[in-house]
């Protein structure tokens, strides 16, 4: 009998009002049923929002240092349960244990970082232009925040949003991806154990149209924070714009790694493999384009093919496995369609390009590491987000051509350049159009105390993580205290 999981609303675990459920299965073996989860709808979302709204007036008055101390407790509990959560995450998401442990660690780091901000959360003081008058600005909470998160980082990304939102004094409703609901349950069990008051955090499972859309449209939700596809992000932006609702969007990427002729090729090789095939290419920061200088292209490509062909595919719970499955069959078919597109466009398939169904892995959503050569920057496979283990090689003859090829994208999330020339490195930092640039490192590996986000169609200008995330989850309020005992008129009484 499959285990039945529930929503978490107003401090209680409850079923969907419809009584409906959906299945959560292991992508490495679709015959393995992890559990049944609530197929929630607008009524469930409304219950969660009302609980969050009811809890907001009291939670916002809890001193920020005390809210931070609660996040420290959450971080300690996450650390205590790290292995348990990592293994559960690998079962439902597929990525290897090394990566799911890293996913949990990111949540731990975010908890401690956000907890520390409880004693900072700085405002600003500034001189007034008038005598006997004090001026300052402070942060205040926004209200009820709706968080919609993806399946590829099912603990890290919810914590990126949830912890700063709570630290700022907001209450939240989280709608996690329906492919990874179990990890969200694990997180909320820890929030409950840490003593987060009823209604402050609420969890509603379900599909995007049935649960996500009502959350976006709910009139009492004041802010939506979304991570996912650019197509869905556009729809959310339009809905929030109509209602003048605050919205933060972190969307797609088509990230590129440049390898110049003076690069350390061994180092660049490790970076390209990790960036392209880590998480089976299912990261918004994954290396999808590899821009190689003509002088090293043949040698480097041969090195890359040799290493990529040896990548061990299988169940991520096996510590020796290097690459797990794609998240579901729809994702695998999407990747396979793009492989056909690449062939039709005239790109040369070097390795892969096929579904992997060998031995006991016949019941999983596996795909071979895939590489295309002779890709031009304008090809669809070089422009559109594939979100799978597919790497496109683009040849260039100069640094300037490499930068031009990298910037030839509607996205601008992460980027990378391998070079020993410090002058080139700094020119790249200046000229690359991306929210993140690595020098002599892969396009993946963001740290929680730096801003995360991108330009162009990657987002709408906000940055998660670091201190910048607090600009998403707080409002600025300007405060003036006039102790002169008389009416003073700014811009009038101070001009002779």
Which burial class, exposed, middle or buried, applies to 320 when counting CB atoms under 10 A from its CB (0-12, 13-18, 19+)? Answer: exposed
Q: Which of 177, 228, 218 is CA-nearest to residue 22?
A: 177
Per-residue model confidence as pLDDT tens digits over 210-232:
999 999 999 999 999 999 999 99
**With the C-alpha atoms ordered 146, 152, 154, 157, is the resulting torsion angle positive or negative?**
negative
Mean pLDDT along residues 455-472: 95
Cα 456 to Cα 440: distance, rounded to the nearest angstrom = 24
Enter the tokens of residue 479. 């405060």
Cα 371 to Cα 391: distance, rounded to the nearest angstrom = 5
Mean pLDDT along residues 472-481: 98
In this model, does residue 496 exceed pLDDT 80? no
Edge to edge, the sheet with strand 171-175 lists 12-14, 7-9, 201-203, 171-175, 144-148, 223-227, 246-250
Q: Are strands 287-293 and 390-396 parallel, antiparallel or unpaired?
A: parallel
Which burial class, exposed, middle or buried, applies to 389 when counting CB atoms under 10 A from its CB (0-12, 13-18, 19+)? Answer: buried
pLDDT confidence of residue 217: 97
DSSP secondary-structure letter at 424?
A: H
Per-residue model confidence as pLDDT tens digits over 108-152:
999 999 999 999 999 999 999 999 999 999 999 999 999 999 999
Under a CB-based contact definition with an 8 Å cutoff, are residues 169 and 114 in contact? no
Residue with tokens 């630290």: 167
Q: Are strands 474-482 and 133-141 parallel, antiparallel or unpaired?
A: antiparallel
State the chain's mean pLDDT as an integer. Answer: 97
Under a CB-based contact definition with an 8 Å cutoff, are residues 378 and 289 in contact? no
| pLDDT band at 358; cut points 50, 70, 90 | confident
Q: Which of 136, 206, 129, 133 is CA-nearest to residue 175?
A: 206
Radius of gyration of the chain (CA): 24
Alpha helices, H only, 278-421: 294-308, 329-345, 380-383, 399-407
In this model, does residue 187 exceed pLDDT 90? yes
Q: Known catalytic residues? A: 250, 284
Mean pLDDT along residues 463-486: 97
In this model, does residue 1 exceed pLDDT 90? no
Q: Which of 312, 331, 6 is CA-nearest to residue 152?
A: 331
pLDDT confidence of residue 370: 98
Domains and CATH numbers, the chain: 7-251+459-479 (3.40.605.10), 255-439 (3.40.309.10)
- The pLDDT > 70 percentage for the chain reads 100
Mean pLDDT along residues 351-370: 94
In this model, does residue 494 exceed pLDDT 80? no
Give CA 352 to chain center in angstroms: 27
Mean pLDDT along residues 464-492: 96
In this model, does residue 495 exceed pLDDT 90? no
pLDDT confidence of residue 77: 98
Under a CB-based contact definition with an 8 Å cutoff, are residues 130 and 493 in contact? yes
Q: Are strands 223-227 and 144-148 parallel, antiparallel or unpaired?
A: parallel
Mean pLDDT along residues 145-169: 98
Cα 339 to Cα 275: distance, rounded to the nearest angstrom = 19
Under a CB-based contact definition with an 8 Å cutoff, are residues 385 and 288 in contact? yes
For 45, residues 6+ apart whose C-beta sits below 8 A from its C-beta are 173, 175, 204, 211, 214, 215, 218
Q: Are strands 29-38 and 21-26 parallel, antiparallel or unpaired?
A: antiparallel
Enter the tokens of residue 65. 């240092």
Which residue pairs, CB below 8 angstroms and at least 24 apart, start in 260-264? 260/293, 260/296, 260/399, 260/402, 260/417, 260/418, 260/419, 260/421, 260/424, 261/293, 261/294, 261/295, 261/296, 262/419, 262/420, 262/421, 263/296, 263/418, 263/419, 263/420, 263/440, 264/418, 264/420, 264/440
| pLDDT band at 2; cut points 50, 70, 90 | confident
Mean pLDDT along residues 286-297: 98
pLDDT confidence of residue 359: 82
pLDDT confidence of residue 70: 98
Under a CB-based contact definition with an 8 Å cutoff, are residues 176 and 160 in contact? no
pLDDT confidence of residue 286: 98
């Amino acid at each position: 009998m499959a285990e039945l999981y529930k929503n978490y609303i107003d401090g209680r675990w409850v079923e969907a009002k419809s009584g409906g459920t959906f299945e959560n299965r292991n992508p490495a073996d679709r015959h393995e049923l992890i559990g049944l989860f609530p197929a929630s709808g607008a009524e469930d979302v409304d219950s969660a929002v009302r609980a969050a709204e009811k809890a907001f007036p009291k939670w916002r008055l809890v001193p920020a240092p005390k809210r931070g101390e609660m996040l420290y407790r959450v971080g300690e509990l996450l650390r205590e349960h790290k292995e348990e959560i990592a293994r559960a995450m690998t079962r439902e998401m597929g990525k290897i244990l090394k990566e799911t442990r890293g996913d949990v660690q990111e949540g731990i780091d975010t908890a401690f970082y956000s907890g520390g901000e409880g004693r900072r959360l700085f405002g600003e003081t500034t001189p007034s232009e008038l005598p006997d008058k004090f001026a300052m600005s402070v942060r205040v909470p926004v209200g009820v925040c709706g968080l919609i998160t993806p399946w590829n980082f099912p603990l890290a990304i919810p914590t990126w949003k949830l912890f700063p939102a709570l630290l700022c004094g907001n209450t939240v409703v989280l709608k996690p991806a329906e492919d990874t609901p179990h990890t969200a349950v694990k997180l909320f069990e820890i929030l409950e154990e840490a003593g987060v008051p009823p209604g402050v955090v609420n969890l509603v499972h379900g599909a995007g149209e049935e649960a996500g859309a009502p959350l976006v449209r709910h009139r009492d939700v004041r802010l939506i924070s979304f991570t996912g596809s650019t197509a869905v992000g556009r729809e959310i932006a339009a809905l929030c714009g109509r209602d003048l609702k605050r919205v933060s969007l972190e969307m797609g990427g088509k990230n590129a790694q440049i390898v110049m002729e003076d690069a350390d090729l061994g180092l660049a090789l490790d970076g390209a493999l990790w960036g392209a095939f880590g998480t089976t290419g299912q990261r918004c920061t994954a290396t999808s384009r590899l821009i190689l200088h003509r002088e090293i292209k043949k040698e480097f490509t041969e090195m890359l093919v040799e290493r990529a062909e040896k990548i061990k595919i299988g169940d991520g719970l096996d510590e020796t496995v290097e690459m797990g499955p794609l998240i579901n069959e729809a994702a695998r078919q999407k990747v396979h369609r793009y492989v056909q597109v690449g062939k039709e466009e005239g790109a040369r398939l070097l390795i892969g390009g096929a579904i992997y169904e060998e031995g006991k892995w016949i019941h999983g959503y596996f795909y071979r590491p895939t590489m295309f050569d002779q890709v031009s920057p304008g090809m669809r496979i070089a422009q559109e987000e594939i979100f799978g283990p597919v790497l496109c090689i683009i040849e260039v003859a100069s640094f300037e051509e490499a930068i031009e090829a990298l910037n030839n994208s509607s996205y601008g999330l992460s980027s990378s350049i391998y070079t020993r020339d410090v002058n080139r490195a700094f020119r790249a930092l200046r000229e690359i159009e991306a929210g993140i640039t690595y020098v002599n490192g892969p396009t993946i590996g963001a740290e929680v105390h730096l801003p995360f986000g991108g330009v162009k169609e990657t987002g709408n200008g906000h940055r998660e993580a670091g201190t910048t995330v607090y600009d998403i989850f707080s409002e600025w309020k300007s405060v003036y205290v006039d102790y002169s005992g008389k009416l003073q008129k700014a811009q009038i009484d101070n001009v002779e």
